[in-house]
Amino acid sequence: MKSVKDLMMRQPDEIKGEKLYEGKAKALYRTPVDGVMLMEFKDDATAFDGKKKGTIVEKGYFNAKISAILLRYLEECGIQTHFIDQMAERYHLVSELDMLSVEVVMRNIAAGSLARRLGFEEGQVMAYPILEFYYKDDALSDPWLNASHIKAMDLATDDEVLCLEEKGRQVNEYLQRFLQPRGLQLVDFKLEFGRDSEGVLILGDEITPDTCRFWDVGSGDKLDKDRFRQDLGDVEDAYKEVLRRVSQEVPLCG
Ligand code: TMP
Ligand code: ASP
């Protein structure tokens, strides 16, 4: 097997090489093609740093499809991503990246830890989208970071930090343009980036109801992992509804 085309003609189990990573929501495997990885989307879910554990039926199926649609769309907008193609129902072929240990969170509306930390009322619209960095470290519970922490800890260069800020804001604009006409308010979301073999920062990971907060534009109903975190019920239905909406063909606004 030499190319992505060869990989796409096989079943995921036939091309699964060494497992490089397994987390709660995803696993990552080598494939026989250099620089191409297989990402598996799982049904397991955790919240509150793993204190709450569970399974969301068919989450892997919904998330693989939702993320494929959103990453493809971002590629069309000119944002380079690791996404190559979807395989079977729960797998993506992705390019190999050297992932940064920094998460980029964008927030348009107060919710979650922002509401808790700074005392905003949930639902308060931010006058300017807030960009935050977090350190990916389970033992430290993914603490908040600023640019000087990133520099001091050598997690990224100054230019890379600027690039993360620029891309975080661009992705926020593009995603809102896509989601708003589909009746989804983008409250906040988390992105992860990695360096390709030439050192260029590329968007990796996933964009799904696990990593974003989506509220119904009309009712404000939560259509994301907060339904699991907060025991709101109808968790699977929310993921299914997000997939239905992002699959809709509607004109872009803005
Ligand atoms: P937070 O309000 O808990 O800080 O989360 C902000 C956004 O980032 C929310 O959309 C969920 C997402 N997120 C992740 O994808 N992974 C994480 O580990 C955390 C803490 C948040
Ligand atoms: N995924 C994280 C955890 O496992 C945080 C979250 O999504 O709430 O705790």
* Shared-domain flag, residues 214 and 108: yes
148 occurs within a structural domain: yes
243 occurs within a structural domain: no
241 occurs within a structural domain: no
Question: If you take atom 9 of ligand 2, which residue's CA is the nearest one?
Answer: 49
**Does residue 248 contact residue 220 with C-beta atoms inside 8 Å?**
no
250 occurs within a structural domain: no
Would the CB of 161 count as within 6 Å of ligand 1? no
Q: Counting atoms of ligand 1 from 1, which one is nearest the CA of 116?
A: 2
Give the pLDDT score at 253.
Answer: 58
Return d(Cα 233, Cα 210) in angstroms, integer: 15
Residues belonging to the chain: 254
* Shared-domain flag, residues 14 and 57: yes
Lowest mean pLDDT among 3-7, 53-57, 233-237, 250-254: 250-254
* Shared-domain flag, residues 110 and 229: yes
Name the pLDDT band for 76 (thresholds 50, 70, 90): very high
Q: Considering the entire predicted model, what is its pTM?
A: 0.97
Lowest mean pLDDT among 49-53, 106-110, 191-195: 49-53
253 occurs within a structural domain: no
pLDDT at residue 1 is higher than 80: no
* Shared-domain flag, residues 117 and 51: no
* Shared-domain flag, residues 107 and 73: no
Range of the domain at 193: 98-234
* Shared-domain flag, residues 64 and 183: no
Give the pLDDT score at 49.
Answer: 86
DSSP string, 5-65: HHHHTS-HHHH---EEEE-SSEEEEE-SSTTEEEEEE-SEEEETTTTEEEE-TTHHHHHHH
Domain-ending residue, one of 95, 112, 135: 95
pLDDT tens sequence across 160-191: 999 999 999 999 999 999 999 999 999 999 99
Domain-ending residue, one of 44, 74, 95: 95
* Shared-domain flag, residues 89 and 115: no
Run of H or E residues at 201: strand 201-203
CA of 99 to the centre of ligand 2 (A): 19
pLDDT tens sequence across 18-43: 999 999 999 999 999 999 999 999 99
pLDDT at residue 126 is higher than 70: yes
Query: Which of 13-47 are b and which e, b meaning 16 or more Cβ less than 10 Å from the residue's Cβ?
Result: eebbeeeeeeeebbbbbbbebeebbbbbbbbebbb
Give residues (CB < 6 A) around ligand 2. Answer: 24, 46-50, 225, 229
73 occurs within a structural domain: yes
pLDDT at residue 97 is higher than 70: yes
CA of 59 to the centre of ligand 2 (A): 15
% pLDDT > 90, the chain = 96
Return d(Cα 235, Cα 52) in angstroms, integer: 15
CA of 160 to the centre of ligand 1 (A): 21
Q: What is the CATH number of the domain that holds 60?
A: 3.30.200.20
Give the pLDDT score at 4.
Answer: 97
Question: If you take atom 7 of ligand 2, which residue's CA is the nearest one?
Answer: 47
**Does residue 239 contact residue 62 with C-beta atoms inside 8 Å?**
yes
* Shared-domain flag, residues 122 and 44: no
Return d(Cα 109, Cα 38) in angstroms, integer: 34
Q: What is the mean pLDDT of the chain?
A: 97
Report residue 179: phi and psi, to 5°: -85, -35
Measured CA angle at 75 (ends 169, 185), to 5 deg? 50
Return d(Cα 235, Cα 231) in angstroms, integer: 8
Closest ligand, as measured to the CA of 205? 1
CA of 32 to the centre of ligand 1 (A): 33
* Shared-domain flag, residues 116 and 145: yes
Q: What is the CATH number of the domain that holds 216?
A: 3.30.470.20
Three-state secondary structure call for residue 195: strand
**Does residue 87 contact residue 58 with C-beta atoms inside 8 Å?**
no
Question: If you take atom 2 of ligand 2, which residue's CA is the nearest one?
Answer: 47
199 occurs within a structural domain: yes
Q: Counting atoms of ligand 1 from 1, which one is nearest the CA of 213?
A: 10
* Shared-domain flag, residues 132 and 22: no
Q: Counting atoms of ligand 2 from 1, which one is nearest the CA of 225?
A: 7
Three-state secondary structure call for residue 209: coil
CA of 142 to the centre of ligand 2 (A): 10
CA of 189 to the centre of ligand 1 (A): 6
Domain-ending residue, one of 41, 61, 95: 95
* Shared-domain flag, residues 120 and 25: no
195 occurs within a structural domain: yes
The total of structural domains in the chain comes to 2
The amino acid present at 217, given as its one-letter code, is V
CA of 108 to the centre of ligand 2 (A): 20
Give the pLDDT score at 169.
Answer: 98
Run of H or E residues at 95: strand 91-95
* Shared-domain flag, residues 226 and 135: yes
